[in-house]
Amino acid sequence: MFSAFCLVFVITLTAAATWSLVDDGRGSEAEATVLDVEQRGARTFVTVQFSTSGGEVCEADFRVAVDANRSVTTGDRMRVHHSKSEPCLSVREVGDHSRWYMILIAPVLLTVFGTLAYVSWRRPRPPLPLRYAGMP
């Protein structure tokens, strides 16, 4: 039962990740102004404001993943990429390709849980007839 639940969960997660990547690919880039920079240990988080091609003004927070942008300060400009359907919620810096990891991990999880589900659901083999009991 656990493997069946995990298989359905991984299939759903793979579909959602695929849709998210397609939506992100249909998005566009914009020039953003850095409003705030916060250092949390070795991580840098920024708050940016930008305008979409449709004229919507968005403000977004995200973790900096591109080394060139780790030294940004308040007031600097940086390029961001936003999705088409949710431009203010799905924002990342240009050059950040971390979203592709899920599409690489998903086939491995599908294979593992698919195999587990097959093993647990397959019909057991009938026992050998007694006349073959002593044979190798």
| Cβ–Cβ < 8 Å for 66, 96 | yes
Q: Is the pTM of this model over 0.85?
A: no
pLDDT in tens, 84-116: 888 888 888 887 777 777 777 878 877 887 787
More confident site: 8 or 75 = 75
**What is the chain's mean pLDDT, rounded?**
81
pLDDT score at 65: 82
| Burial (Cβ within 10 Å: 0-12, 13-18, ≥19) of residue 119 | exposed
Q: Indicate whether 135 pLDDT > 80.
A: no
Buried b (16+ CB within 10 A) or exposed e, 58-91: bebeeebeeeebeebeeeeebebbbbbeebeebb
Question: And the tokens for 80?
Answer: 């961001």
Report the half-sphere exposure of 114 (CA within 13 A, side-chain side).
Answer: 8
